[in-house]
Structure 1
Amino acid sequence: MAATVGLLTVVEKCRISPPPNTIGERSLPLTFFDLGWLLIHPIHQLFFYEFPHSKSHFFQTVIPNLKHSLSITLQQFFPFASNLIVFHAPNPSGIARKPEIRHVEGDSVALTFAECTLDFNDLIGNHPRECNKFYPLVPLLEGASKVSDFVKFPIFSVQVTIFANSGFTIGITNHHTLSDASTRYDFLRAWTSIAKYGTDELFLASGSLPFYDRVIEYPQSLDEILANRHAIQTLDENYRPPQLIVSANDKVRATFVLTRAHINLLKKWLLVQLPKVEFISTFTLGCAFIWSCIAKSRFGHERKKGENELERFACVIDWRSRLDPPVPQTYFGNCVGPCFAITESTILTGNKGFVAAVELVGKTIRETVKNKQGMLKDAETWLERFVVPVPTVGVAGTPKQDIYDLDFGWGKPKKYETISIDFGQAISVNVSSKSPEDLEFGLSLPGKQMDAFISIYGDELESIISEENS
């Protein structure tokens, strides 16, 4: 029976398992790089697809396909249909047991189908839109349950929402201990391929099967540090992951696109400003530009002109190909390490703020990647550095993965949104829907600050382009 909540009507709730007797009982140990995300908010993603057909056509064609293809995909990506297991009792030898991802026969993914009366065309725009509007489209993770000497937590869920005669959204939510962006993208590529072609033959032939062996070498003492500082004992049956709450706040989200033409002009201008710098990556350029504009937008909203404090930029680096020895690109789980750049707000918001940001972000990334200790440098301090009370612009997503190439058989996404950036002042960074040569940035800010950002972003870009073209 359909249940209506606000603008959303739930049509069906079901559970999708891998095909019977294809997985059995399997477990995947969590590594240090997974454990660090135990208490972090879930990742919420929304894909918008145009579908100018009736609801009955949607129910007859799309729903059966998505159910079947998801089941087949879970056969190859079993952790998505599994649970996070947190032990509250030591093993028979008295040694504490690390959390793990475990699958038993019958485990499944919660899949919800719903209808929504919101304006689909408004939601897929780039203009500022109320953040609250998107939350009903995002699936929640189900609650934990206690079983014997451990507690299990569902770690993945899906919601498909139809907008009659306009389109539909596919919302996915995952616990970050399950995977990083690379593994999640591998899963989505497999699912879309199987849905589009009706079989997993093409996916199996692609050589993209997930690699489950735990081959990353690191000091086991790091696991103990995280276990002790992460308060794993608080993860009991009453624990609920942080949730996005519909409220009366005025936070809005908007999308900004730096085209290839913009990027080329900005690079040309920057190489004059920084003659000693031989190379500026597109990622560094784009993130530095957005970071400096966000810092300037704080004036009049969070601080007064002339006030000085620290500002920080944070991103993660995929280490799969950078480890010695490297691990397969299809390594399943988390294989990323943090990278922090920090400076004073008076520098970041000055006339040369963008230039300073480019120099600092680029230098920090280069030094992090080239360090002989690699990902493990200062790893024991990661948690402390993550929670430093400094205004931080973090990055979700990566332009290395074409998020707009995920076609289930009804066309590529019309729009993509990382809803979980609403938990803090993070930005999403991806290729754009128009061209993989462009960069698309998603921002979530209070309304007045967003107005200031839009003005600053446009003025700064126009000023540099005009100077370069003069």
Structure 2
Amino acid sequence: MLTVLENCRVSPPPATVGNRSLPLTFFDAVWILFFPIHQLFFYEFPHSRSYFLEEIVPKLKHSLSITLQHFFPFAGNLVLFPNANWPSDGQKHEIRYVDGDSVSLTFAESDLDFNDLTGNHPRECHKFYPLVPLLGQPSKQSDHVAIPLFSVQVTLFPDVGISIGLTNHHCLGDAATRFNFLKAWTSITKHGTDELFLTSGSLPFYDRVIEYPDLLDEIYFNQPGIKTIGVDYKLPELVGESDKVRATVVLTLAHINRLKKWLSAQVAAPEYVSSFSVACGLVWSCIAKARARVGEQKSDDDLERFMCAVDWRSRLHPRPPQTYFGNCIGACITTPIRSSLLADNKGFLTAVEVFVDTLNKTLKNKDFLINDADTWLERAFEPVPMIGVSGTPKMNVYDVDFGWGKPKKHETPAIDYNGSISVNACKDSPGDLEIGISLSPKQMDAFISISKDELETNLIV
């Protein structure tokens, strides 16, 4: 299904960065043991292999090199000190760039069906995996382990399209950091230089200005799993066969507004519900009903919970710049509720109420770093089925244009790891929401049927 045309490594231009390091904060250290992030952008590209090799490949190499000059951590490594004990020995894990470090860039060709991959209908998840780049292997030094942070794969579907696959370790940064990087890379690719980017006010801000209790560094820098990391350390990878299928559900603004109207007519409905909350509540309840329908809910006492990330850049005091580089997101985690509450005829209402209540408490909690953040990992790894959210409609992935127009489709393969969902703004109407789902075939069939019925029922007010 895949032919590799070229494997190469891309560095910033010589003598433009030097040796630099960026200490992790607890916001970054939270993600050390988590799975990596994957994104796939599909573009219509009615050109031949020769045109791709002669025109596109050199342009992408050149523009990526210039972009890395400004976003050097993407070319660096995560440096972990397994034997360190913060704060007694003063060694903090960090992102380190040594002059000459580089990003793995692969160019390939695929004979997969481009139009099938870019549809909304259920598609086999494993078909996407050859398009997803892997991170390189860790290297063991005398006192630390160095783990690559970023890789890229550009795949040609001759005369039809191109996909650009990105993989990054979550310690590198959150969605805002990745989006700023992509805005820079696309601008430089389209214009051939970084002049426009430099005048945009979008240069990354690297100073570690976020203030938080030292206790959080002690908790997250000394996670037990870090102590066992060695040269054989390997992040989970999307390879081989999968028994899951992925589909895309589009909630139009008209759908969302009518669902809000239905919610407002209910006695216990919250005063304000965002489009994001409506989408999350609907999908959460429909997945719970799908599990019950196919017999994968063991009893009425089974518990479920929901989690999403909250961007704290605009909520911290003092406030870091919007171009702050790294992770600056916190967890919003609902308390476990019984699956049966989501699977009854008021499941949608219950899901929205539970999620909105948790979200409001999180956003209004000025002392969240003290009262909440120290338990994020503990709650995230409780033995309770949980649905998480990848992506955000606040940053439109369909604005990522390398000069070939908007993407035809965006996919988030990382949701295959744990049954999370992705939520993004749609291509043609930012008010519409595009929700990516990854489930077993039986669950997916049930989910599609249930969500259709749910929409038809709740749209009648």
Map of 1:349 onto structure 2: 343
Map of 2:28 onto structure 1: 34
Map of 2:302 onto structure 1: 309
Query: What is the alpha-carbon distance in structure 2 between the residues aligned to residue 114 and residue 28 of structure 1?
Result: 33
Map of 1:270 onto structure 2: 263
Map of 1:323 onto structure 2: 316
Listed as ranges, the matches of 1:15-54 within 5 Å are: 15-54=9-48
Partner letter of residue 178 of structure 2?
Answer: R
Q: Report the 3-state secondary structure (helix = DSSP H, G, I; strand = E; otherwise coil) of the residue aligned with 1:118.
A: coil
Map of 1:433 onto structure 2: 427
Query: What is the alpha-carbon distance in structure 1 between the residues aligned to residue 60 and residue 370 of structure 2?
Result: 40
Query: What is the alpha-carbon distance in structure 1 between the residues aligned to residue 232 and residue 84 of structure 2?
Result: 20
The 1:89–1:435 alpha-carbon spacing in structure 2 relative to 1, beyond 3 Å, is same
2:287 to 290, 294, 300: 294
**CA deviation profile, 1:394-416 (whole Å, cap 9, x unmatched):** 00000000000110011110000
Contact kept? 2:285, 2:343, Cα under 8 Å: yes
Deviation at 1:303, TM superposition (A): 3.0
**CA deviation profile, 1:324-371 (whole Å, cap 9, x unmatched):** 121111110000110112321111111111111111111111110101
Map of 2:179 onto structure 1: 185
Deviation at 1:96, TM superposition (A): 5.0
The 1:434–1:375 alpha-carbon spacing in structure 2 relative to 1, beyond 3 Å, is farther
Higher mean Cα deviation, 376-385 or 315-324?
376-385
2:275 to 274, 282, 294: 282
Q: Report the 3-state secondary structure (helix = DSSP H, G, I; strand = E; otherwise coil) of the residue aligned with 1:400.
A: coil
Deviation at 1:246, TM superposition (A): 1.4
Contact kept? 2:269, 2:349, Cα under 8 Å: no
Partner letter of residue 208 of structure 1?
Answer: S
Contact kept? 2:292, 2:343, Cα under 8 Å: no
The 1:365–1:255 alpha-carbon spacing in structure 2 relative to 1, beyond 3 Å, is same
Contact kept? 1:89, 1:96, Cα under 8 Å: no
Q: Report the 3-state secondary structure (helix = DSSP H, G, I; strand = E; otherwise coil) of the residue aligned with 1:348.
A: helix
Higher mean Cα deviation, 30-39 or 80-89?
80-89
1:103 matched to 2:88? The reply is no
The 1:124–1:222 alpha-carbon spacing in structure 2 relative to 1, beyond 3 Å, is same
**CA deviation profile, 1:382-441 (whole Å, cap 9, x unmatched):** 111010111111000000000001100111100000000000110000001221110000
Query: What is the alpha-carbon distance in structure 1 between the residues aligned to residue 261 and residue 88 of structure 2?
Result: 62
Deviation at 1:277, TM superposition (A): 2.9
The 1:302–1:339 alpha-carbon spacing in structure 2 relative to 1, beyond 3 Å, is farther
**CA deviation profile, 1:236-283 (whole Å, cap 9, x unmatched):** 111011112312x43100000000111111111111114663211011
Map of 1:379 onto structure 2: 373
Partner letter of residue 258 of structure 1?
Answer: L
Map of 2:200 onto structure 1: 206
**CA deviation profile, 1:66-116 (whole Å, cap 9, x unmatched):** 11111111011010010111124559x971512100111100000000000
Partner letter of residue 286 of structure 2?
Answer: C
Q: Give the root-mean-square deviation of aligned CA atoms.
A: 1.6
Map of 2:250 onto structure 1: 257
Query: What is the alpha-carbon distance in structure 2 between the residues aligned to residue 276 and residue 353 of structure 1?
Result: 13
Query: What is the alpha-carbon distance in structure 2 between the residues aligned to residue 377 and residue 317 of structure 1?
Result: 16
Query: What is the alpha-carbon distance in structure 1 between the residues aligned to residue 347 and residue 268 of structure 2?
Result: 17
**CA deviation profile, 1:208-227 (whole Å, cap 9, x unmatched):** 11110101111222222223
The 1:149–1:327 alpha-carbon spacing in structure 2 relative to 1, beyond 3 Å, is same
- TM-score (normalizing by structure 2): 0.97
Listed as ranges, the matches of 1:53-64 within 5 Å are: 53-64=47-58
Query: What is the alpha-carbon distance in structure 2 between the residues aligned to residue 174 and residue 230 of structure 1?
Result: 23
Map of 1:3 onto structure 2: none
Partner letter of residue 274 of structure 2?
Answer: S
Question: Any gaps of 5 or more consecutive residues in structure 2?
Answer: none
Aligned identity (percent) is 61
1:121 to 115, 122, 128: 115
Map of 2:223 onto structure 1: 229
Query: What is the alpha-carbon distance in structure 2 between the residues aligned to residue 235 and residue 244 of structure 1?
Result: 20
Query: What is the alpha-carbon distance in structure 2 between the residues aligned to residue 366 and residue 380 of structure 1?
Result: 19
**CA deviation profile, 1:166-202 (whole Å, cap 9, x unmatched):** 1010000000000011101110111111111111111
1:394 matched to 2:388? The reply is yes
Map of 1:446 onto structure 2: 440
Contact kept? 1:314, 1:393, Cα under 8 Å: yes
1:458 matched to 2:452? The reply is yes
1:150 matched to 2:112? The reply is no
Q: Report the 3-state secondary structure (helix = DSSP H, G, I; strand = E; otherwise coil) of the residue aligned with 1:64.
A: helix
Question: Any gaps of 5 or more consecutive residues in structure 1?
Answer: 1-6
Higher mean Cα deviation, 102-111 or 192-201?
192-201
Residues paired across the two proteins, number: 459
Contact kept? 2:83, 2:227, Cα under 8 Å: no
Deviation at 1:302, TM superposition (A): 4.7
